[in-house]
Each structure stands twice: as structure tokens, then as C-alpha cells.
Structure 1
């Protein structure tokens, strides 16, 4: 994935004879391998704790689904529809918009521009607060939306109940995500890990108390989700307030109210990129929902397993966007090119691990969600397709993050639209409806992701890395009052060449 903007990884050495040339070539190759090893080490140090953070976040939802499964099939199916719409009209939108910060924050940290990081963080909070207010209106009317979609009235009522709780949970969840991305850009992962683990404990205890002790049913599950998200935000924000940050960060900067167009120019393609991917899964669930409640429950269990296993590509893709962005912000296009290659290899290896884990445990993990024999048989039958999908999803997600780290979310949005909405959703829906099977939707996703992987590989291969460096510098410096090098040094923050891990 070398780009056309780099002429090579090594420079020519002096010497006129073959004896002088061979040691020079060897030293360059050895130097390149050392850089690759160091980059792989840095990405793994980011990948592992990030995967734990994502796993803890997903477990908040999986705990709730497990509780709903114990309440009954209709409760699980109805709440699944509600959470599906909550994702489409809530989580996907806010997380998509906030993911634009991955580009700005990582590149600003690489350039050591504290002022630019401050402005991006505050600007993101302002924009996303407005977005959450607008989305809450839609979420509050979830039951009406489900009825308009011709869903069963009883299922619509259950789904609407969950969506009303999501309505008040969306703001703290979004603010947590923004602050998490700020720490993540600096490779500081401990705050997010501690807060998500704490929130997981809160969610488990509140589900036990509200559902099994007090008997509040679906309302108890919704309240537990809200309490878990609220505790996540309050904990990480408290850490942010009392961490060692400059006193000026307590002030709302003028730049936070400026250049919203620049932020939105990155945020909307990032949103489209995430919406096209996540939305395709949710729409897939809605399409096969017409095959009956058991089909909904089967797909819900499979999707939750996929979300949990997504911890692996989430870790690798976060490492990819962080390292590529940091290198570009630091003006090192060569290192960014190496990072994009390394993340692709790590994604392939992690995908093999995920597929193997799912295959070898397919007769055991479905019992986490249900004891119904027919439901268990349906889930186990589709598991092989899910395993293959996990392999391709690891690679596709990570390469997409590398492309995004170069500051080109618009390219990712176009490719994602083609892969999921031109190929995956139509093909998967056709197979599922004609054959009346859940496996069809996963086959469609698999074929679409193969096309996506090929497209991302080509896009990274032809990347002009020097041009990406120049664009990163322009983005970062747009939030500074002056571009004088001396003032740039005054705004500098200490570099983090070695990512922080949870073990040090």
C-alpha cells in the first residue's frame, strides 16, 4: 500500500561496487523490518485495551438482551425492533458524526497542536448536543413509527418503550463517546476502560434490581441501559475534569463556534459511512422480521454475537485510524504508509481468530440467550456463515479505518454505499425471502464485504501520502490564530510515541 507520493522507504547509500551495494540494501531492508515491527507493536498495544473497552460497551447491551430473552420471546423480539430503530435514528447518527473527531484529533495530536484539539473537542460537543436534541423527538415517537411500518401492535408497544428510554440515554452516551475519542487520539486508553467496566457493573446490578426484584420488565431493562450510559459519561467526564490538562481548557474557546463547516464536511461523510454499514444490518433485521418472531429472535442473537466479536476489528481499526492520523499530523507520510500495511495484516490475523472462536463454540454460546430448542437449532445452522463474515468484516473495517485516517471519509462513504446497499442488502434480502432463511442475509453481507476489501486495498495502494500530509497540516492549523512556527511550538503538547496500555 505504498503511495505514489513516496519514492521509497530507504535512501540510496554511497559506494561504487557490488560489495558496497549489498550491505546497503541489507541495512535498508533491516531498517524497514525494524520499523514494521515497532509499528506492529504500537498497534497491538492500542488494539488490546481498545478491544476491552468495546467489549465492555457491547456487554451493556448484551446483558439487556440476555435479560429480555428470559422475559420471553415477544419481549426479546419487540425490544429488538425498538433497539434497531434506536440504532438507525440515534446511535448510528451520533456515533457517525462524532467519528469525524478521529481524523481531527489524531492528526492534531500528531502535530502536537493542543489548541486545535481543544477546539475540535468543544466543537464536537456543541454540534452533537444539537443533534441529540433533534433525534430525541424521533425516538420518543418510536411506537408510532413501528405501527406505521405495519409491525405487530404488541411488539410495537414493547419497542416503543425501549426507544423512550433510549431518548434520554442518547446524550450521555454521545458525550462519553466524544471524550473517549479525545483520550483515544492520545493513546490514553485507561480512562475509557475503567469507565466502561464501572458502567457494566451498574447495568448488571440495576437489571437485577429493577427486573428480577422489582418486576418492572421491559421498563426495567430500559432504565438499566440509561443508568449504564449515564454512569459512563459521568465517570469519564470526572476523569477528564481532574486530569492534568491546562487551565485554559476550562474556557469555551472562540474556535469552538467557528469552522463548523469544516467539521461537518468530515462529519457527514463519516456519518454516511457508518450509517450505510450499520444501517444495512438493522434494515436486514427489519426485512426478515416479516418471516415471523422466531426469525427476528434468531437474527437478533446472531447480530449480538457479531457485535461482541466486533471487539477485535474495533481494536484493530481504532489502532489503524489513530496511528495513520498521528503519523500524518506529524508530517511523516512514510510511517503512515507502513501503518496502513501493518493494520491490514493484523486485521487478517485477528479475523482468523474470531472465525475460529465462533466455529468451535457454536454449540455452546447460543445458550447465553435462550433455551428454546428450535431457536438454538436455527442459530447453530447459520453460525458457519457468521464465522466467514467475521473474517471479512475484520479486514474490511480496519482498511476502511485506515482510509478514514487519511482524512478521506467521503471515499469510504462511497465505497460503503456500493458494498452494502448495492450488493449486500439487495442480494441478502433476495436470498432470505426466496429461501425463507436467515442465512441469506449473512451471505449477502459476505459478498458485499469482499468487494469492499478489494476497493480499500486499491485505494490505499494508489494513495499519495505526501498529499495526505499536506491536507492534515492544513486541517490542524486551521484552528490556530497564527501559523507562525514559533507560536506552533508554544501550542505544542508532549508527544506519545509509545501508546499507553492498561498494564503500565
Structure 2
């Protein structure tokens, strides 16, 4: 099959000097703002960890338990709503451009999915303290984590709605508005969190959560306003008739997104299980684990953004039945993600204390005891960083092909068939403790990343199915 000219070259109105170089430029142009959005959004969680670190080892441990439980469920919601991006990208590639009705119906279905997910999860999150006590966490830490969660849970719907709109705008290659809003939200979150936690109200750990909730509601309101005022985006009428339930489009979003949500929960569940297990070793290992996770997650935002760009680039080529184009898009994204995570691994190996200082006040209670434990965990974090980046980009490329079921099974097997049991065996069976849990991470992620790359190579080598247009 003869490939069509690259999408980026067509947008620039010139033939590319090299299809690979042109694809690299297009991927960087799209992934750069998506990476910045991810970093800014993760910055909400990371800045909360920094604020909690100023409160001491116990608050950061409680925040880690509550946040990891929240993110476990929230990531499942993100997976479901992430179906919006490949569906809109496919429509754009299939036609000269996605019609207003096509985009509107997909966005509306994604918002409905986010609302129903929030409605289902919030009642359970209210009882976080009792759940953590049942999991044998320290009572004082469980009490603070429960108070933190009762406020933090109100973050879920506006955050999922933001993800829906970000995915649609990325597929339309308009990531600018969510980027601007995300960059503005980060300093606001820090300011509000510090004000409520340390200011006149002196709410402590609860104040940090309250600052994040207020920030997210302001962020989604700002993004909606920008979309409604922007002439190019207003024509899609994304918010028209939001109250109408579109069963056909809702089912399509769920069909593509549900395996993505399960895969996300499988990975997040690995980290949640590790956090709960780490809590059984005491407050200091749990605090060190929380800091290490923040460092690893911050690095992960870059390949995650590259993977989101791969979803759009592959999805557009898939809609256009451009086999060579989709293979180039996936390959370029994979090499970008791999290269960046190699650099991150080296930083974790050779500058651990510099990284730890970003998340822990050396003068905070218990900080001196946390440093050596966190430095030891960073050695294992460096080992799994490369696999983590590769699997994220490979998942993004496969989502561009709307291949989500088999990657879900790969994730379940790698994380829960290998990562969890091996980590438990090493932690308790060999006496490695928390280091054994991190070693299980390494093994599970390595298996998943290799299997996903093999899956991508096999699917991208075949003639792509030409997607059929959905009825309006």
C-alpha cells in the first residue's frame, strides 16, 4: 500500500524532506504541550506532597495513603474517558475534518462517563479511614488520611471533565487551551494549599486538599470559557444538549475506554498495594516510598505525554488507512520515550539526594531517618523507569489503533501475575522489606513493556482496517 504524505507536512503545505524527520517534528510539536500539561497536572499532586512534607513525616505518610487510593480509582476513570482522544482522532483522519456533531457527541459521552464514574466512587471514598484501619495501617495515619480524602474526593469530577476536554482538543491538535489553564492552575494550587494549611485557618492536611479542589473547579470553568469563546472550537458546539444521553456514543466510548480503565487500575493498583504494604513496615518507609513515587511519577509524565501524542498521530493515520504513517508515528514516539527515561534513570542513580530534597524538608520531623531509605528505593526506581516509559508510549500507540483489550490482559498479567507476588515474596520471604516491593515493580513493568512492544510491532505491520464512519 502506498502511504500518503505525512499529516504534518500536509498541514505545512510542503513535501517533507524526510518522512521520519517530519514525523519527529510533528510528534514533538504535539507532545511538548501534552507533556507540559501532564507535568502541570501532576504538579498538583506533587506540590501537595511538598506541602505535606512541610507538616512532617506523619502527614506525608497519611497523604500518600489517601492519594494513592484516590489515584487508583481516578486512573480507572481517566482510562474510560481517554477513549475520547482516539475516537476523535480517527474521525479527523477518516475525513477532511471531524464534523461538529461527531466531536460534540463524543465529548458529551465522555462527560457522561466521568459524571457516572464519580457518582459511583464518591460514597466509598468517604470511608477511607475505616478501610485503612482494616488494612492494619497506623491509627493516627489512617485518621488523617480519612480527613484528607473527605475533601480530596470532590476533585474527581472536574478533573475527569478536564481530561475529556483535553483529549478532544489534543485530537483536534489544539492543546494550547488546556496547557494555558494547567500552567495557571499549578501556582494557584500551591498558593491556596499553603493558605489553607498554614494561614489563618490553619487547617493542616485538610487545607492542602481544599486548595486542590478549589483549583480544579476554577480550572475546568476556565477551560469551558476558553472553548466557548474560541471561534475555531466554538463551531464544534461541545456543550450543546449535555443533558441528553446518547446511548450509542456512550457505549462506544465505554467499549474502547473500559479496557483502558482496567489496565490503568491494574497498574495503579500495583502501586496502591505497594503503598499499603509499605505502611506495614512503619511510617518512615512509607514516607520514603511516597517521596520515591513522586519522583518516579514526575519523570513518567514525559513519556505519558509522548504516548498521548502517539495516540493522536497513530489514530489519524489509522483513520486515513496510512500504514506507513502509523508505523512511523509509533516508532518515533517509542524512541523518544525510551531516550528520556534513560536520562531520568541516570539522574535517580547519581543525584538521589538532590531529588529527595525537592519533596522533603530536611528540618521536618523525622526527615533525617527518611533520607537513606528513600535513596535506597531510588536505585530500584531507576531500574524500572525505562520499562515504565516504554510501556506508556506503547500503550498510547496501541490506543491509536483502538486496540485496548489485549493490552489490558498484558497489564493484568504483568502487574498482578508477576509484580505483586514477586514483590511480596522478596519483601517478606527474603527479608528485603520495602526494597523487595520495588524489585517486584521492576519485574512486572519489564514484562509488560516487552509484551506491549511486541504487540505493537505485530499489529502495525499488517494492513490497517479502514474505520467506518459512525452515524451522526
Shift of 1:9: 6.7
2:431 to 410, 431, 435: 435
How far apart in 2 are the matches of 1:479 and 1:309?
41
2:80 to 97, 107, 122: 97
How far apart in 1 are the matches of 2:374 and 2:182?
29
Q: Does 1:134 align with 2:124?
A: no
Q: Does 1:478 align with 2:462?
A: no
Q: Does 1:106 align with 2:96?
A: no
How far apart in 2 are the matches of 1:329 and 1:33?
24
Q: TM-score, normalised by structure 2?
A: 0.90
Answer whether contact 2:289 2:377 (CA < 8 A) is retained: no
Task: Please show how residues 153-164 of structure 1 align to structure 2 within 5 Å.
Answer: 153-164=139-150
Shift of 1:93: 2.3
Answer whether contact 2:136 2:280 (CA < 8 A) is retained: no
Answer whether contact 1:120 1:256 (CA < 8 A) is retained: no
Cα distance 1:231–1:403, how it changes in 2: closer, same or farther (>3 A)?
same
Cα distance 1:206–1:134, how it changes in 2: closer, same or farther (>3 A)?
same
Question: Residue by residue, what CA displacement relative to the aligned partner does 1:427-459 show, whole Å, maximum 9, x if unpaired?
Answer: 122212332432222221222222222212221
Structure number with greater CO (CA < 8 Å, separation at least 6) is: 1
Which stretch of structure 1 is more off in the superposition, 237-246 or 297-306? 237-246
Cα distance 1:250–1:454, how it changes in 2: closer, same or farther (>3 A)?
closer
Answer whether contact 1:363 1:380 (CA < 8 A) is retained: yes
Q: Which residue of 2 aligns with 1:230?
A: 217
Cα distance 1:479–1:139, how it changes in 2: closer, same or farther (>3 A)?
farther
Shift of 1:32: 9.9
How far apart in 2 are the matches of 1:258 and 1:411?
23
Cα distance 1:248–1:276, how it changes in 2: closer, same or farther (>3 A)?
closer
Cα distance 1:210–1:255, how it changes in 2: closer, same or farther (>3 A)?
closer
1:168 to 154, 158, 172: 154
Task: Please show how residues 42-53 of structure 1 align to structure 2 within 5 Å.
Answer: 42-53=26-37
Cα distance 1:450–1:436, how it changes in 2: closer, same or farther (>3 A)?
closer
Structure 1 vs Structure 2 CA RMSD: 2.1
Answer whether contact 1:172 1:233 (CA < 8 A) is retained: yes
Shift of 1:147: 2.4
Q: Which residue of 2 aligns with 1:488?
A: none
Answer whether contact 2:34 2:308 (CA < 8 A) is retained: yes
Q: Which residue of 2 aligns with 1:338?
A: 328
Q: Which residue of 2 aligns with 1:78?
A: 62
Task: Please show how residues 105-254 of structure 1 align to structure 2 within 5 Å.
Answer: 105-111=88-94, 112-114=97-99, 115-214=101-200, 215-244=202-231, 245-246=234-235, 248-252=237-241
Shift of 1:181: 0.8
- Matched residue SS, 1:258: helix
How far apart in 2 are the matches of 1:255 and 1:329?
26
How far apart in 2 are the matches of 1:292 and 1:249?
49
Q: Which residue of 1 aligns with 2:280?
A: 290
How far apart in 2 are the matches of 1:250 and 1:83?
31
How far apart in 2 are the matches of 1:438 and 1:182?
40
Q: How many residues align?
A: 449
How far apart in 2 are the matches of 1:147 and 1:194?
41
Answer whether contact 1:288 1:438 (CA < 8 A) is retained: yes
How far apart in 1 are the matches of 2:262 and 2:287?
28
1:453 to 444, 449, 461: 449
Task: Please show how residues 2-81 of structure 1 align to structure 2 within 5 Å.
Answer: 34-81=18-65
Structure whose CA Rg is larger:
1
Cα distance 1:427–1:249, how it changes in 2: closer, same or farther (>3 A)?
closer
Q: Which residue of 1 aligns with 2:266?
A: 276
Unaligned runs of 5+ in 2: 5-14
Answer whether contact 1:139 1:166 (CA < 8 A) is retained: no
How far apart in 1 are the matches of 2:438 and 2:139?
28
Shift of 1:274: 0.8
Question: Residue by residue, what CA displacement relative to the aligned partner does 1:6-63 show, whole Å, maximum 9, x if unpaired?
Answer: 6x879xxxxxxxxxxxxxxxxxxxx998111111111111222211111111111111
Shift of 1:331: 2.5
Unaligned runs of 5+ in 1: 1-5, 11-30, 481-504
Q: Which residue of 2 aligns with 1:374?
A: 369
How far apart in 1 are the matches of 2:203 and 2:145?
15
Shift of 1:102: 2.4
Shift of 1:85: 1.5
How far apart in 2 are the matches of 1:265 and 1:252?
23
Which stretch of structure 1 is more off in the superposition, 35-44 or 224-233? 224-233
How far apart in 1 are the matches of 2:406 and 2:16?
29
- Matched residue SS, 1:310: helix
Answer whether contact 2:104 2:236 (CA < 8 A) is retained: no
Answer whether contact 2:108 2:238 (CA < 8 A) is retained: no
Q: Which residue of 1 aligns with 2:387?
A: 392
Shift of 1:342: 1.6
